[in-house]
């Protein structure tokens, strides 16, 4: 199982230095297309920066809840002004409680 990182340039660099594959995005609107095109046979763990995950919540929830889909982990963004968002698990639980 390989790991794939989707993040802004600064956050991606931190993971690229560790040898992980991935893609840098400039805008959150790029994320759904990347997630649809990703080979989940090859990549079983997707690391997605928290700001991108929160801006693409419907797509992320669909991927996480899909049977046999990859494991998606929301990671904090790196750099000044990076504010921790509510975790994906917290957002999913709040939707289930409704």
Nearest-angstrom CA–CA distance, 96 and 90: 10
**pLDDT tens readout for residues 8-41:** 999 999 999 999 999 999 999 999 999 999 998 8
Backbone phi and psi for residue 2, each to the nearest 5 degrees, phi listed first: -105, 160
The pTM for the full model equals 0.79
The domains located in the chain, with CATH, are 2-97 (3.40.50.10580)
Q: Residue 6: which of 17, 70, 26 has the closest Cα?
A: 26
Contacts of 51 (CB under 8 A, 6+ apart): 8, 28, 77, 82, 85
């Amino acid at each position: 199982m390989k790991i794939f990182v989707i993040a802004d340039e600064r956050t991606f660099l931190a993971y690229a230095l560790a040898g992980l594959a991935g893609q840098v995005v400039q805008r959150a609107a790029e994320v759904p297309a990347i997630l649809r095109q990703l080979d989940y046979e090859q990549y079983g763990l997707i690391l997605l920066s928290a700001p991108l995950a929160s801006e693409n919540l419907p797509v992320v929830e669909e991927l996480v809840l899909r049977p046999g889909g990859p494991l998606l982990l929301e990671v904090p963004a790196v750099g000044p002004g990076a504010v921790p968002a509510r975790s994906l698990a917290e957002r999913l639980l709040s939707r289930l409680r409704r």
